[in-house]
Structure 1
Amino acid sequence: MSESINGAATTAPVLPPLYRSLEPVTPERHGKLRLRDAGLGFARTLSAVPITAEEIPVAARTLTIVFAAQAPHLPVALTSLVPEKNNFIDAGGAWKIGAYVPAYLRRYPFFLLRVAETSQDLALCVDPTAPQLSAEQGEPMFADDGKLAPQLERAFAFTRSVEEAMVRTRTMTTRLAELGLLKPAQVQFERLGKPLRIDGFFAVDRPSLAALPAEQLTELRDKGWLEVIYAHMVSLGGLPELAAALPPA
């Protein structure tokens, strides 16, 4: 698999969360643009943020991690139990102090897309509507000779690393599903004197994990997935805190 930063036409995907549009990054189209720090206000309507398996052991300290109900059951970090609301972003666009910021948000506004359906080559793309792009403020994306400026080189490398981690995460969740570990889950507790049930997500099933043969447990351990699983299960303890931010019924 190779990456490019040219004007090759890319396949037209279903846009991922946050992205309103995507276009290949080229010096002809973006040579005059700059990258600036625009805060995280762009994610204030994202109540579930995609996250990679490698982030979960650290992210689970401050974020609740669940698995999507739809296959391949990729993990997400919940930022709210209300659709299109993010409790981790304040009015000024700053992330909650001390909470982990998922790489998915740190990668934005960049994304990698295949240059064609049958190709393994990837092109660096950008959301042209992103507030990080400016004609006047920030660091240039390209040098005067049309080559990548250091800021864009770093963004390209980070975007590639996130994409590779996402691929490894999909491999993990596919295997967990094959082992029968990912199942519909629900959590019930009391809030304001009334029972509250939270469902609609998948989680690792503790009895199924405990029943795995030693050989399969060893496989999970050797691949580093046991640490991910336990961190995810511990993070579910954050659901009551998210529920506490719900408006009164």
Structure 2
Amino acid sequence: MSKQLLMYENVAPLNKTKHRELYVKPLDNFNFAKDVNSAPLTLVEFPAAAAEYTIVFIGTDEQVMPAVILGFKENENRYFSTEQGWHARYIPAFIRRYPFVFSSPENGDKLTLCLDENYAGCNQEGRGERLFDADGEQTQYLKNVLGFLEEYQAHYHRTQAFCKRLVELELLQPMSARFGTQAQGVETISGFRGIDRAKLKQLPSEVLAEFVRNDWLELIYLHLHSIRSFGEIMAKVTQADNAAPLTKTESESTTAETV
């Protein structure tokens, strides 16, 4: 999968002196995400996202995150087109938070609100929402942005705890998906992981009880269902370039279908 932070080109900490006259105008398009082929997802987003995206897991054992697949190739987002905009009702919070993002030092003790200064909606001509008032105080708009990112960060930490548990229990397995296009034949995408159904069924009853208490079991099955619907989901967003549905999703360690 590709680098999601391709969206951010010139990230700078928000500063009430430097950015006092800055306005941010929300744009009607998602051009900034046109080259993003996956987007991280938090647990709270699974129910809405599973109906329109395939949810997988990306990263290494040190840092695994759920994500939705947006395209088959690097720098490709099949869920966005200049003519039609975003091809789904639900848009991941990772995308919606742009052009803002939290940054933190390696020890993670302090979060700093940052802004992509290259965002097309940034201006000093009074278009959109002002970030600081004449006295250098945060506007209500900026307070709302902070609230949204703080909530996102809290969900992110809960998601990390979930993923850490999956890694501890060795429930994740490498997977790949094959798909066909009329013009190019069969291709394969990989670099993501999914829940191993066989290992899931072998979990001790006390672990399953833990997953039920935390609502994790429900989320696991939403993930598995979204993989089962891989072809159907992606067919909806590939009609413009005559792509056929994905034909198979499989474990990289075997050739058997896992869902």
Q: TM-score, normalised by structure 2?
A: 0.81
Counterparts of 1:189 and 1:138, CA distance in 2: 42
Which of the residues 63, 79, 82 maps onto 1:88? 79
Counterparts of 1:106 and 1:180, CA distance in 2: 32
Which of the residues 134, 146, 155 maps onto 2:136? 146
Equivalences for 1:125-140 in 2 at 5 Å?
125-136=114-125, 137-140=127-130
**Mean alpha-carbon deviation: is it higher for 238-247 or for 209-218?**
238-247
Mark the runs of 5 or more structure 1 residues left unpaired by the alignment.
Answer: 1-13
Deviation at 1:189, TM superposition (A): 7.0
* Aligned equivalent of 2:212: 221
Counterparts of 1:118 and 1:196, CA distance in 2: 41
Deviation at 1:74, TM superposition (A): 0.9
* Aligned equivalent of 2:153: 163
Higher share in strand: 2
* Deviation string, structure 1 residues 10-48 (Cα, Å, up to 9, x no partner): xxxx99342123211111111111111112111011110
Counterparts of 2:229 and 2:76, CA distance in 1: 17
* Aligned equivalent of 1:8: none
**2:64 aligned counterpart, secondary structure:** coil
Contact 1:22 1:128 in 2 (8 A): yes
Counterparts of 2:18 and 2:180, CA distance in 1: 55
Deviation at 1:239, TM superposition (A): 2.5
Contact 1:63 1:100 in 2 (8 A): no
* Aligned equivalent of 1:27: 16
Which of the residues 30, 33, 44 maps onto 1:43? 33
Contact 1:188 1:198 in 2 (8 A): yes
Q: 1:19 to 1:93 in 2, by over 3 A?
A: farther
The aligned length equals: 233
Counterparts of 1:240 and 1:85, CA distance in 2: 17
Counterparts of 1:119 and 1:203, CA distance in 2: 28
**2:192 aligned counterpart, secondary structure:** strand
Q: CA RMSD in A?
A: 2.5
Counterparts of 2:140 and 2:7, CA distance in 1: 25
Counterparts of 1:248 and 1:189, CA distance in 2: 8
Q: 1:118 to 1:184 in 2, by over 3 A?
A: closer
Which of the residues 227, 238, 253 maps onto 1:236? 227
Q: 1:23 to 1:212 in 2, by over 3 A?
A: same
Counterparts of 2:60 and 2:156, CA distance in 1: 16
* Aligned equivalent of 2:248: none
Identity %: 30
Q: Which runs of 4+ in 1 moved over 2 A?
A: 14-17, 69-73, 116-119, 186-192, 194-200, 241-249
Counterparts of 1:81 and 1:189, CA distance in 2: 9
Counterparts of 2:4 and 2:66, CA distance in 1: 18
Structure 2 residue 79 is the aligned partner of structure 1 residue 104: no
**Mean alpha-carbon deviation: is it higher for 201-210 or for 130-139?**
130-139
Deviation at 1:118, TM superposition (A): 4.4
Mark the runs of 5 or more structure 2 residues left unpaired by the alignment.
Answer: 245-259
Contact 1:185 1:200 in 2 (8 A): yes
